[in-house]
A and B are shown apart, each in its own frame.
Chain A
Amino acid sequence: MAKRVGIEVSRSVAIAAKLANVDVVSAYPITPQTHIVEDIAELVANGELEASFIPVESEHSAMSACLGASAVGARTFTATASQGLELMHEVLYVASSMRFPIVMAVANRALSAPISIWGDHSDVMAVRDTGWIQIFAANGQETFDNVLCAFRIAEDRRVLLPVMIHLDGFHLTHVIEPIYIPDADEVAKFLPPLDYPLPLDPDRPVSMGAFGPPYIYPEAKKAQQVNLIDSKEVILQCWREFADVFGRSYDPLECYRCEGAKVLLLAMGSFSETAMSAVDTIREEGGEVGLIKLRLWRPFPFDEIRRAVRDTEVLIVLDRALSFGGPGGPVCSEIRSALYGLDKRPKVVGFVGGLGGRDISRADFREIIKRGMEIARSGSDQEFEMFGVRE
């Protein structure tokens, strides 16, 4: 039977890795990811988890070690944040294009400079195009559940792709939440052992990561693209089956009080929980406002987004990252592109806020919605606005 316990979300991620019975973990500690890997190291040292913990001198090496472990068919886990994720950058592409089902928790944190240990989505957005499946968690339970789902999705024969689970630095990693932790038996039923189809094996030699001359490289990239797009069906199936076993269901995006809403707010990660509370207040006052929590970032859920905003007049998108000199926030810009071809589409208003751990309170969300509606009414063609920045 599952137990509901009050636990720091980072520690629950370590427990999820343990329940998934990972074989290899290679990681380098970095705030705010530290508690995750510290706990795993402790579980291994105490003999509670039979796995190899490979301490390394950098995140570049951590991800490289994960590639090697995954190549021999080991269930592989790691975690990082911010500068660590960027230091891994080039290796991330290798993991996805070589089809290694590595699972990584990313404790989302801002990028330097100025140095900031606090949360935002700058780190994620810089690795947007690395070919990983990317799922955002809004609370502790979602984080825990999706780490388990991540192994199942990544290792499915139809997928074989690495998965990132994003949890906001501090706002999730360092808070204690009530989380249902299932038994090892229940997890074992949901998550079969990894059976990688073409591992490095002296009895059946293969070459991995070979040279790709111009006559084959585009075919390799097309295969990778189709594979990532097609993974969505498996992700949906995994979430349905997770609901059958554990009773909690997930979707690529979640609509909260969207019925009859002329104005919708869209957010990702933990801030969407605060936004829900702001929507509640506005609804109580009679405002027709709803919220979309975007959970699946890659592969991008085009159809679900288009359906969700079909009857919406104004869509306000909050980004926690800035595309310098570009169209504003990456999320808003992708949503605009997704809707551009539709005959009837909402006016999309972009805000960039919550950078480097700056809080967005319930009152701030009300202000964002109010300001967003003003911008939409004014017919302004500004790309986006930075919220809460002192003039």
Chain B
Amino acid sequence: MAKVGDELSWKDLEIGSIITEPGNASQNQTGDWRTQRPTYEHSRCIKCGLCAIFCPEGCIEPNQEGFFEANLFYCKGCGICARECWTKAITMVEEEEE
């Protein structure tokens, strides 16, 4: 597998930093500037998927049990999912230093 992101030296770059590998934006961890993260109360979730429809990042998918959850690698913590959730199954909580 080719080197990614912070493994690349200046000598590895294509001319003009041209990207020759399609779709490699998925390697970009957009979740690293999140200040809040969604938490879920599955007993309230009706699996309607409205949160996934509204998510501007497109990073919410059902898990193995069918509950919708955000992929925190990409989730920017905007809170739109929590705002739009009919049943108030999603609560935003502060990210805290570990």
A216, B8: Cβ atoms closer than 8 Å? yes
- Among the stretches A142-150, A180-188, A203-211, the one at the interface with B is A203-211
Is A160 close to B, CB under 8 A?
yes
Number of A-B contacts (CB under 8 A): 57
Is A222 close to B, CB under 8 A?
yes
B16, A222: Cβ atoms closer than 8 Å? no
30 sampled A-B residue pairs with Cβ under 8 A: A98-B17, A98-B18, A99-B16, A100-B16, A160-B15, A160-B16, A198-B16, A198-B18, A198-B20, A206-B14, A206-B18, A206-B20, A207-B22, A208-B18, A210-B19, A210-B25, A211-B25, A213-B28, A215-B5, A216-B5, A216-B8, A216-B17, A218-B10, A219-B8, A219-B13, A220-B13, A220-B17, A222-B10, A223-B17, A226-B10
B15, A207: Cβ atoms closer than 8 Å? no
List 10 A-B pairs, minimum CB-CB distance, nearest first.
Answer: A99-B16, A207-B19, A98-B16, A219-B10, A222-B10, A215-B6, A223-B10, A99-B15, A220-B17, A206-B18
A282 to chain B, nearest CB (A): 48
What's the interface size class on B, roughly? Answer: 10 to 19
A211, B28: Cβ atoms closer than 8 Å? yes
Contacts of B15-66 to chain A: CB distance below 8 A? 15-20, 22, 25, 28
Instruction: Give the residues in chain A near B19, CB-CB below 8 Å.
Output: 206-208, 210
Instruction: Give the residues in chain B near A205, CB-CB below 8 Å.
Output: 22
Is A197 close to B, CB under 8 A?
yes
Is A286 close to B, CB under 8 A?
no
Residue of A nearest to B23 (CB): A207
Instruction: Give the residues in chain A near B10, CB-CB below 8 Å.
Output: 218-220, 222-223, 226
A197, B17: Cβ atoms closer than 8 Å? no
A385 to chain B, nearest CB (A): 42
Is A212 close to B, CB under 8 A?
yes
Is A97 close to B, CB under 8 A?
yes
A208, B22: Cβ atoms closer than 8 Å? no
* Extra inter-chain contacts (11) besides given A206-B20, A213-B28, CB under 8 Å: A97-B16, A99-B16, A160-B15, A198-B18, A198-B20, A205-B22, A206-B18, A212-B17, A215-B5, A216-B8, A222-B10
